[in-house]
Amino acid sequence: MTTDSIETWRRERYNATAMHIERIHSDLMVLRIRPDFPRPKYVAGQYCALGLGNWEARVAGCQVESLRSEDAAKIVRRSYSISSSILDARDNLRDMTQDDWLEFYIVLVRENLDGRIPALTPRLFELNEGDRLIMGEKIVGHFTAECVGPSDNVVLLSTGTGEAPHNAIVWELLRRGHRGRILNACCVRYGKDLGYTPLHRKVMERHENYRYLGLTTREIGIRKIYLQDLLTSGELELNLGAELEPQNTHVYLCGNPMMIGAPTKDKATGLRSYPPGVGMIELLEQRGFVVDQPAAKIKGNIHFEEYW
């Protein structure tokens, strides 16, 4: 693998540019990418693939990777939900039709405990503005707000960078002049991991029906609270400013599968079962909510995207 061959691979295989990088801290960033092709139309909440070649450098301090020589020229890809900064430089609601880039909210995975060595994020975190990479030309996904009525209440619950599609959905709802209440809550380990907090404060100042809530689980001196606790304690409804009624509320879940708690169905018996621990879906179904079941063509009022 020579310098010339690497430059050839970059020139021939990459199709996008990292045009803006905001490093929240060493392991968290907001990345804006401008594709060489016209930005595809998409619906808030959808995702696309990003990719880099195995020949690219990895950021220091990550799990050691041993590549076979035959894999050196391969591309590693992963899907990421499209995020949104919601407001423009003048703190007005963005006109995203004028943007020729897409925004992503990415955390550095330094080590996987299941034996899989992180391949893409250690390379993404070595990017500088102006560097090249791959962005998929197809934007897909069913995790959208197209089913939300103008007066419905909307609750968006996420962990970590699972907040990304929720930010885009918030933008879409506000763009539509949504009249119902919107609660956007994100649970992380430390306050520094709530990278969009300053933005959400501004959005709350400008839209009285919007509420953002950042929760932490490891911050010293601050009460540990998980999203499940937020629901069972009644604090979710207090922050929403309304009863959590299935008749007029949509709940969006994105992030840790254990938080979501998506049930599975036994093929032989047809019976549904929940994973160990109590996830949000189980708690919400106890209150009369219905989870989306795409295979059965059932559209409910619990929508989820496992971000793992």
Identify the band that residue 220 occupies on the pLDDT scale cut at 50, 70 and 90: very high
Residue 207 confidence (pLDDT) above 70: yes
Mean pLDDT of 208-219: 97
Q: Please report whether residue 147 resides in a domain.
A: no
Residues 37 and 106 in one domain: yes
Residue 300: exposure state from Cβ atoms within 10 A (0-12, 13-18, ≥19)? middle
Q: Residues 192, 284: one domain? A: yes
Res. 271: pLDDT tops 90: no
Shared-domain flag, residues 300 and 192: yes
Residue 144 lies in a domain: no
Mean pLDDT of 16-36: 98
Q: Are 8 and 70 in contact (CB under 8 A)?
A: no
pLDDT of 6: 87
* Shared domain check, 84 and 203: no
Residue 130 in any domain: the answer is: yes
Among candidate residues 135, 165, 199, the one where a domain is terminated: 135
Encode pLDDT of 274-296 as tens digits: 999 999 999 999 999 999 987 66
Q: What is the pLDDT of residues 45-69, one digit of tens each?
A: 999 999 999 999 999 999 888 888 7
The whole-number pLDDT of residue 203 equals 98
Would you say residue 160 lies in a domain?
A: yes
Residue range 148-162: mean pLDDT, rounded: 98
Residues 165 and 300 placed together within one structural domain of the fold? yes
Q: Are strands 210-216 and 182-188 parallel, antiparallel or unpaired?
A: parallel
Can you give the pLDDT at residue 295? Answer: 65
Q: How confident is the model at residue 307 (pLDDT cuts 50, 70, 90)?
A: low
pLDDT of residue 23: 98
Q: Are residues 166 and 291 in the same domain?
A: yes
Q: What is the pLDDT of residue 296?
A: 62
| 158 and 300 assigned to the same domain | yes
Range of the domain at 229: 153-306
Residue 232 phi, psi dihedral angles, 5° rounding? -70, -25
148: in domain: no
Q: Is the pLDDT of residue 229 over 80?
A: yes
pLDDT value for 215? 97
The proportion of the chain whose per-residue pLDDT surpasses 90, expressed as a percent, equals 83
Same-domain status, 130 and 37: yes
Domain count of the fold of the chain: 2
| Residue 171: inside a domain | yes
> What mean pLDDT do residues 35-43 have?
95
Measured CA to CA, the distance from residue 19 to residue 131 in angstroms comes to: 8
Which pLDDT does position 146 carry in this prediction? 94
Residue 142 within a domain: no
Percent of the chain with pLDDT over 70: 99
Name the residue type at position 194: L
When the pLDDT of each residue in the chain is averaged and rounded to a whole number, the result is 94
Asked if residue 141 belongs to a domain, the reply is: no
Per-residue pLDDT tens over the stretch 75-115 = 999 999 999 999 999 999 999 888 999 999 999 999 887 77
pLDDT in tens, 163-178: 999 999 999 999 999 9
At residue 298, does pLDDT exceed 80? Answer: no
Same domain, 45 and 158: no
Q: Is 137 exposed, middle or buried (0-12, 13-18, 19+ CB in 10 A)?
A: middle
- pLDDT for residue 226 is more than 70: yes
Same domain, 118 and 157: no
Q: What pLDDT sits at residue 96?
A: 84
Both 72 and 214 in one domain: the answer is no
Q: CATH no. for residue 298? A: 3.40.50.80
One domain, residues 295 and 160: yes
Of 37-51, 55-69, 203-217, give the lowest mean pLDDT range.
Answer: 55-69
